[in-house]
Structure 1
Amino acid sequence: MTTTSSQKIESVVNGIDTKQVQQIIDAVKGNPAVAQATFSTTTAWASGFDNETAIKDFELGKNRVARPQAFRVAGDHPPELLGTNRGPTSVELLLAALGHCLASGWSTYGAVMGVPIQELRVQVDGDMDLQGMLMLPQPGAVRPGFQEIRAKYFVKSRAGRQEIEQVRKLAEDLSPTRDSLRAVRFSSDLFIEN
């Protein structure tokens, strides 16, 4: 993630302050313990598949970080899966979390590499056989979770394909969410738009 002497280094690229990124890297190099983090959520069940999760404080470097207010995430199932459609399913939220993480990686690593991203859409699809959660044809015969997850990136950038491919590789390889899903086969496609 270094730049060549011919590259102009901008302070803010893709909405990321590259100087702040370097400050964080330097701080962690000096004291790796500051990079230790614990994130938490609390889910309250209402009825059936209707739940609401609150996300508020987290720990960073043994320090509690308090947000001014909690984020609230509704969860449910559609009627076809016995829910009331008050929110997305948990597996859809999982795909959304992966999409968020990959998009953030594109922004961050693109900024550090000096690759401007004008537009980015990340589509994440996952294949699942619902027989697994229904214990069919017998418990354990079919995996209850995703069998494969695929991402498609629709990117608009002035950078060349090789640079864009490097950003893609870093965004995927260094994604904490993708790493957490490493037991699931993952693939991606890149579409550069003009």
Structure 2
Amino acid sequence: MDTTNNRVNGFNPEDITATINALKENPALASFEWRAHNKWINGGHNRSTIQGFYGGGKEDTSREKPFIVDNAEPPILLGNNEGPNPVEFILHGLAGCMTTTMVLHAAAHRIPIDSVETKLTGDWDAQGFLGLDPTVRNGYKQIHIDFKIEGDLTDEQKEQLISFAKKSPVYDIVTHGVPVEVGMQEPEAVV
């Protein structure tokens, strides 16, 4: 539990309130555009570069260096393990977002948490992806999430923490789907 300098779970509740009030006064500040650039390396290996984004009414320049993230496939899926595979990154993103959302909302409600651990498993059938069975979905059939939350918490607070976790943007993306527009960018002309 972090309550140093009026902090709860690593957040200052007054900062959370100030941010919420600023967004209420100017809802345009709440609009964000996240970006990633991906380049294929070889086989199932590709690399994403993530750095700039738009948020809070301006282009963000806080990241001096880009995050470089490799993803690939294990040998059973014809890869060489250069990184986790993309469906594993979905689990990582979901766990990270739900945890951060939970502890942020808990801090706003002044509910201190000692620790949070999450176990996620995703059930996936390669037959859909490979086109072997049209009745099998390409993506996860189901994702299981189990939280282990420690702290001096009542049963009611634990239920409240789970409801906070379900406010996660990635949880919303995974459970409700997002329209995805796919297009083609023309290669740059060589002069």
Same fold, TM-score > 0.5, yes or no: yes
Per the TM alignment, residue 141 of structure 1 is displaced from its structure 2 partner at its CA by: 2.4
- What secondary structure, in the 3-state scheme, does the structure 1 residue paired with 2:129 have? coil
2:169 maps to: 176
- What secondary structure, in the 3-state scheme, does the structure 2 residue paired with 1:16 have? coil
- What secondary structure, in the 3-state scheme, does the structure 2 residue paired with 1:131 have? helix
Per the TM alignment, residue 183 of structure 1 is displaced from its structure 2 partner at its CA by: 4.2
Q: Which is helix-richer, 1 or 2?
A: 2
Give aligned pairs, total: 173
Per the TM alignment, residue 150 of structure 1 is displaced from its structure 2 partner at its CA by: 1.3
1:55 alignment partner, one of 50, 74, 82: 50
1:163 maps to: 157
Contact kept, 8 Å, 1:116 with 1:157, in 2: the verdict is yes
Segments ≥4 residues shifted beyond 6 Å = none
CA RMSD, Structure 1 to Structure 2 (Å) = 1.5
CA distance in 2, matches of 1:127, 1:183: 18
CA distance in 2, matches of 1:78, 1:106: 32
1:41 alignment partner, one of 29, 36, 39: 36
The answer to whether 1:107 aligns with 2:100 is: no
TM-score of the aligned structures, taking structure 2 as reference length? 0.86
- What secondary structure, in the 3-state scheme, does the structure 2 residue paired with 1:126 have? strand
2:71 maps to: 75
Question: CA-to-partner distance for each residue in 1:21-70, whole Å, 9 max, x for gaps?
Answer: 01110000000000000000011110011111111010014410021111
Contact kept, 8 Å, 1:119 with 1:157, in 2: the verdict is yes
TM-score of the aligned structures, taking structure 1 as reference length? 0.85
The answer to whether 1:89 aligns with 2:85 is: yes
CA distance in 1, matches of 2:172, 2:8: 25
Q: Which is strand-richer, 1 or 2?
A: 1
Question: CA-to-partner distance for each residue in 1:104-150, whole Å, 9 max, x for gaps?
Answer: 0121011111111111101111111110011013xx32110011111
1:148 alignment partner, one of 142, 149, 172: 142
